[in-house]
Chains A and B, each alone.
Chain A
């Protein structure tokens, strides 16, 4: 079984999802549920902190593909932070760095939202 954990934190209006473990086709629905719940509650400023994530497949990245435009249309964004190099490399193969806001540190992503 793949191990995957997700924790939600608030920093004012910004919601931080800390994801840990392995994100594949088996565990991606957990992430999708969390993101759709945030959107349904009207929370559109989302930071995903990847610090504890050590594996991702296209099923995991597919969740972000499915919801980024929804969130942006509502005036928000999903920003990524703290990616390990192997995770960044997978994102890079799909051209994510030009499609998503990927920053080194979570605080930087939060500040970008707060400075808007």
Chain B
């Protein structure tokens, strides 16, 4: 069932600030199929959250969409599949038809995304009463069912409690239950586990995976944790300075990364077998997008940068059916550059470990 549910084409967004225009998103394309999980990885400021906010139609007021379309395909009231360009619609229409109903979002910090003055039950039924024709009793019954589904015990009692009475992991479960309340087609998780502990993170990820499998919904995962990506994603987009620099199936990107930025990201994360004395760091910091970037945005931080990187932006080179990377190193005229030795060794180690699972 390979129908595309979300199609982002050539998205380009700037923000008007007192210092000038900040060119946050510089041409992004990606597809999301039904039931699939896509991860978007990148440093803070790379534009991953902005992309998702655009998909939800909740961009800040000072955002200017320069070009692009975001086509979202869904079943409308009559049960017919149709698609809309989210960027064409106004906020009011989106609020009534899309937000919370067909696309819902789980935010990073469950303390700030829940209303501290409203009890859990009220927050859960709010969306259902607004978007569906359910009666209060039906909505309440469904809310209790949802709380049980996300693994909260004595749901009836929790319905009357307030967010501050719950632990961090519980709160995030409630946020997920709220996101699922109107049976959305697409769930966007913006760093859902960054504020949580590893043990709780593992449980929340399991929960999201289970819910996705049971309901067959699509999930977009925004994160900077490559370990989480490895666990959940089918498909990965690596973003840098408002562009996707490498994309592909999760196995392709992790076992055969081609972009120097992806090399850097993978190297910077200590795995439990690293014995080196120093952690690898990507030198420098991301470019200031107030100034127009000439050439490859990553070139100043790239030890493998070529002369052409300063002059012209690299196109997307296709490696396999799904695997693309935007770096001049893949051009046939480029010198042959191998990834750093340490990373090569580490990937080999990873592959050996993966072989144990018979893949």
Chain B binds chain A: no
